[in-house]
Amino acid sequence: MGIYANFREGLQAFSPQERRNIIIYIAGIMVYKFGLEAFNGSVVALATNRYDFESIRDKTPSQTFERVGLLTGLNQAFQCVGSILIAPLVKRFATKNVLSCAILVFGLCTTLLLIIDAATGGTFMPAAFHNNHPKNSWPYYGTYNTDAMIPVYCVSGIAYGMVELIRRVIPRDIVGGNVQKLRRLDSIVHIFYEITGTAGAFTTGLVIIPRLGNNMAFIITPVCFAVSATVWFFISELDFQRESTTTATRGLRKKPVYWKAAFSGLYLFGESIWVGCRILFSSRKFIWLVPGYAVALYAHRYLENGIAPQVARRYLGDSAWAQIMVGGSNLGELLGALCVLLFTGVIQTPMPWLRLDALMLLIVWYIPYWRPPVEQVGQAWIVAATFTPISFGWAAGDVSLAAYIQASLTRLESKNKNVSALGAVMAFLYSFYIVTYAIAGTLLGRYLDGVYNETGGNNGGSISGGLVYTAGLQFSLICVLVLASTFVPKGSLAFNPSMISEEKLGGLDPMEDKVPTTPDSIGKSRQRKEYRNSDDGSAVNVPKSVCELV
């Protein structure tokens, strides 16, 4: 009853306007996630099949997972560009408008691959293949060079990075800096996000790809993204105020016009990365976030985008079944977010969840020594079941960490003129993970291809020996690194600390903690605090005396 009471009380803590925005935001993100699962799952399976087919047709050594690693790695790297572009945009335009426009661009990018495939003879999967698909034969694919997928996927990565970063920033705009509200909102959003992600992954792997073919399965993605952009447009302005003419004119003398900055990639990259890097590495309070957030995120993505396709294709013989494994991972994320929501009043810091996340990574050690029968879909469900607890730990830590980052950076928002502190930190962390994945994914894929070719290649090769290092050993090292990072902040040695870095995270908005208890200041502290002003779109809109005090 105590947990249920906390849950009910948490929902009632949101104001009517906050609840309205939350409902709209969740509705949009569910449609977005369904389309995203269809797109990413289909493209990776398509690339895997096409590179394998080219290797068999040309009788050349397999380079499948090196190329797939390069494909996904470059997509991740180009997400850096999108995430960097978001930091200045958040300062100049309403967040919900940036989000809606970014996802519309993303939807347009996903249509490019459909057009290329259809223009080169690609069709939907023939009905005769639905129940009896010939092995290593895909005559309904377009005849274009498979490497052409790489630049197309890179372009979509720019828009993808913008959407993924902005959806990590917008919760703070919806509910302010109250860490309890942020934790509950992030948990609720993550729950519905993963409900759709689980359904989308299973639907893609079991229904859409087997019926349409993975070259056409993501035809639903542009439609989903257009619907999502329309829904998000109805989020209220969150009290965003556009700069007045006088203020904007003064601002031209201090900082570059956005269109000029947008085309100056070096300027944007340098400033955003520098601000985020300076905040993270100049304080014991934040430095642990690099392994705790970015490295843990890399491990999670490698599990879904690296290990799942490798096991599906080389162990089970069907690359589409990787989506079943991803569905199991999404189910774990759903359960992890639900636990954070239910226990938000009991576990007030991210540390217990991060430690659980680190330990769950060791589960992958069974994969190198597992020898499942080929072409049996039931074996994919076994992998999905083992992925569930791994992603449970990651999602619980990710949700709790996101709330911590959003709340702890609120007071730093107005210290830089061109990028927001929260946007810069998230951009640095996200970019750090992306660069790590881009490099490691390609190199580890090349290593596995070498193991596969040395053990027989297309005539019975195996990657189990390579997975000892790319899965077991790599995840063990990440486990140690993430676990060690949880003991870096002050006050984190306890199993379930009530505060870290001498900040109690279980209560009020950090701006409210510093307000003196005079009658006048109490009255001001009860006024709603908005997190944008007309000058730079980031500072808290409270009386000047309170700002000076903080």
Q: Are 533 and 241 in contact (CB under 8 A)?
A: yes
Q: What is the pLDDT of residues 287-327, one digit of tens each?
A: 888 898 899 999 999 999 999 999 999 999 889 899 999 99
Closest CA to 63 of 383, 465, 461: 461
Q: What is the pLDDT of residues 370-380, one digit of tens each?
A: 999 988 889 99
Mean pLDDT of 230-245: 67
Cβ atoms within 10 A of the Cβ of 450, count?
A: 17
pLDDT at 6: 56
Cβ atoms within 10 A of the Cβ of 381, count?
A: 14
Mean pLDDT of 12-26: 84
pLDDT at 247: 45
* Residues 63, 67, 68: CA angle, nearest 5 degrees: 115
Q: Are 491 and 497 in contact (CB under 8 A)?
A: yes
Mean pLDDT of 272-290: 82
Q: What is the pLDDT of residues 500-519, one digit of tens each?
A: 655 555 444 443 443 333 43
Q: What is the pLDDT of residues 163-190, one digit of tens each?
A: 877 777 787 778 776 767 777 787 788 7
| pLDDT of 492 over the 60 cut | yes
Per DSSP, helices labelled H in 455-505 are 464-467, 474-485
| pLDDT of 486 over the 70 cut | yes
| pLDDT of 24 over the 80 cut | yes
Q: Are 304 and 72 in contact (CB under 8 A)?
A: no
Q: How confident is the model at residue 2 (pLDDT cuts 50, 70, 90)?
A: low
Residue with tokens 């977010």: 337
Q: Are 40 and 327 in contact (CB under 8 A)?
A: no
| pLDDT of 52 over the 50 cut | yes
Task: Give strand pairing partners of 500.
Answer: 503
Distance CA 22, CA 235 (A): 8
Mean pLDDT of 43-50: 92
Reduced to 3 states (helix: H, G, I; strand: E, B; else coil), residue 143 is coil
Q: What are phi and psi of 499, to 5 degrees?
A: -150, 155
DSSP state, residue 161: H
Distance CA 424, CA 326 (A): 30
pLDDT at 253: 47
| pLDDT of 281 over the 70 cut | yes
Q: Is the dihedral of CA 535, 536, 539, 545 positive or negative?
A: negative
Distance CA 80, CA 103 (A): 16
Residue with tokens 């999967």: 125
Mean pLDDT of 37-51: 91
Distance CA 200, CA 220 (A): 11
Cβ atoms within 10 A of the Cβ of 294, count?
A: 20
**Which of residues 366 and 255 earns the better pLDDT score?**
366
pLDDT at 535: 31
